[in-house]
A and B are shown apart, each in its own frame.
Chain A
Amino acid sequence: MATATIPSHPLLAGAESLLDGPGGQPGFLAERRRQAAASFAELGLPTRAWEEWRFTGVSHLEDALWTVAERAPQLPSIDDPPLGDANRLVVVDGWLEPGLSRLHGLPDGVFVGSLAEAAVRRPELVEPHLARHAALNDHPFVALNAAQFRDGVLLWIPAGMVLDRPIEVQLVARRHERPTLALPRVLIVAGRGSQAAVVQRSAGGSADTLTCSVTEVVLEDGAALDHYSVVDDDHGATHIAALEVRQGRNSAMHSGVFVTGGGLVRSDLTVTLGGTGADATLEGLYLTAGRQHVDNHLLVRHSVPSCTSRQLYKGILDGSSRAVFNGRIVVDKGAQKTDARQSNRNLLLSPAALVQSNPQLEILADDVRCTHGSTIGRLDEDAVFYLRSRGLDRASAESLLTWAFAAEVVEGIRVPELRDRLRRAVAARLPSSHMIEELL
């Protein structure tokens, strides 16, 4: 075979060594990187003419000269304490840093560690999945990550194993002098009948940071996974995240996507229910203020019969922030007895805030139950009056009702320490935060 020419695009600069040959990486990975690079070069960055990017402009990213982050010469300090007794992995600018990570009490047989290392040493765990699930051919940032990612995390849970402590994956972006691209990648494989909880959190960054994260999740038959993703980057930072989930028979995915920070945040969550009896519960909360822009794209594909999915995404918008919710349910022909629900509710705290909410159903089977609903509104004045008539001042009444709006999602978090943090994050946004903190 003739050597393929390296596709050309400014965002692929520096990728030659990864694409050219194995260079210490297994052949399958180099091959997938080349496919991804070719796909990215062909797609280019999305424009507003693309249906899926109509309300989120990223073309300004073309104006900067991005370089992929090098490994940090000195470990940054991490302010956030770990979540309770969680096993923690810290990924700085896309590189797993064992010096900042803390693993304790993991049972034998589970693999938790560097994705790049695992690709070399345990290719049998990585090869069947890596860059196989996240779509390379229609999401340029997913392709960009696959072509260029340096490292990340593999969590591989053998069949039947129950992890009783959560795994925390902390994605940290450092501040940089020049436009810097971080490409963390996470692969989670939950073996047959296994159970685990994973909390992925991103933080840090600045106006010169572009984080492009990709998480692939595989739930084999009967696996149960709680996966929470918290985007809490600095308000100037751009974070484009993709989470791709494949579910086998009778598997159960409970996903939470919580956006509390970041300047421009795009999150694509794609779930394919590929085994009968699979269930996906997908919840989300975005708290926006100032000039933040948060775009949640969900695609739930029912490809076999008798699966259930439930989407509940809620937004609380302040300032002149913008939110986009695009929820698509696809029911393939033959996926009878599908039960799919979707709900997107938005609370506007400011007249300058704006939401685009677009539910989309594509149903090719005939014996299904699919519902969707979407609301955009302000606080209910009847409820405000009710509380005031019992003695609460307006700020307290509004805070309490806003809290109550968020609580439906926050209280569903099954990792107590994370639930507590999210409660506090919501409370901190409210005018009478001291009052709400008494609730906690």
Chain B
Amino acid sequence: MKKETLLELKNLHCSIDGKEILKGIDLSVNAGEVHAIMGPNGSGKSTLAQVLAGREEYEITAGEVRYRNRGLLEVAAEERAREGLFLAFQYPVEIPGVSNAYFLRAALNAVRSHRGEPELDAIDFLKLVRDRMQLVKLDEALLKRPVNDGFSGGEKKRNEIFHMAVLEPILAILDETDSGLDIDALKIVADGVNSLRGPERAFLVITHYQRLLNYIVPDFVHVLMDGRIVRSGGRELALHLEEQGYEWLEPEPRAAVAAGR
């Protein structure tokens, strides 16, 4: 049985303030797959994540993005979320004055009503969130606290995965979810993600380091450099990058010479 293609990027170019960041990206993600996008700082990884989630500040100058066989670029960020796309932020935003539980319930009900499902009442909601908090071993006190306000770096990242577990996306993009986490927190986050893996769902895991990929084992690894995917492969590509760094892949001719090729 052929797996559904969830996400398809064709020659995606985008710019911000006249500066081109993504310079022609082709990528295809099927249901059930985990793709890792690796690359050095400034290669365009986070831009890719933001563009896919619907950030409007970026100008798409060429190319196409299809999500579940529908053009994605003209769809508003909130509608993408309701259609099952989720971005775990690299820098989750603090919102003093709005409790984590309230925000999450508003988000969940927006998603549910879009799907034609009834809104969850307070009791069912609490049951669901308690269950999902276990996944990332998040202290229940953080439900009542304002969103991300006063959370430690690790709590913020775990909170993102917790949101993901409640919203049950079809395609989840994790933007440097591993940055700033110690090894224990990293394992907790990875366990949470792994427990959500399934045949209907796909993940795009964006990371600078291969460390996370020891715990979230990808099906495919892509290397993004200077706005282009310069190499794709299996898990072994990530291990190779860990040993060799990114320099041997440098797309600039001069760098290639420097690397002795």
Using a CB–CB distance below 8 Å, which chain A residues touch chain B? 380-383, 385-394, 396-397, 400-401, 403-408, 411, 435, 438-439
Contacts and interface: CB of A to CB of B under 8 A. Distances in A.
18 contacts: A382-B93, A383-B95, A385-B55, A386-B92, A389-B77, A389-B80, A389-B89, A390-B103, A390-B104, A390-B163, A392-B110, A400-B98, A401-B98, A403-B98, A407-B98, A408-B97, A411-B97, A438-B102
Given A386-B89, A407-B97, A400 B55 contact: no
Nearest to A405: B97
Given A387-B103, A407-B98, A439-B102, 9 more contacts: A389-B80, A390-B103, A390-B163, A390-B167, A393-B78, A393-B110, A400-B106, A403-B97, A439-B98
A396 B102 CA distance: 13
Q: Looking at chain A's contact residues, is the secondary structure mostly helix, strand, loop, or mixed?
A: helix
B54 interface: yes
List the 8 closest A-B pairs by CB distance, nearest first.
Answer: A407-B97, A404-B97, A391-B110, A390-B107, A391-B81, A386-B93, A388-B77, A388-B78
Contact of A388 (B81, B98, B104, B167): B81
Interface in B5-33: none
Nearest to A409: B97
Interface residues of B, number: 32
B146 A404 contact: yes
A220 B89 CA distance: 53
A389 B89 CA distance: 10
A404 B98 contact: yes
Contact of B93 (A383, A406, A408): A383
Contacts of B54: 385, 388-389
A407 B111 contact: no
B245 interface: no
A401 B95 CA distance: 7
B87 interface: yes
Interface string B66-100: 00000000001110111000110100110111100
A379 to B, nearest CB: 11
Given A403-B98, A404-B96, A404-B146, A392 B106 contact: yes
Interface string B94-123: 011110001110111011001000000000
Nearest to B76: A388
A389 B50 CA distance: 10
Contacts of B161: none
Nearest to A394: B78
Nearest to B80: A389
A387 B78 CA distance: 8
Contacts of A406: 97
Most chain B beta-carbon contacts within 10 A, residue among A387, A394, A439: A387
A391 B98 contact: no
Contacts of B38: none
A386 B163 CA distance: 12
Nearest to B148: A386
A200 to B, nearest CB: 25
Nearest to A400: B98
A439 B95 CA distance: 14
B37 interface: no
Most chain B beta-carbon contacts within 10 A, residue among A381, A382, A389, A390: A390
B114 A391 contact: yes
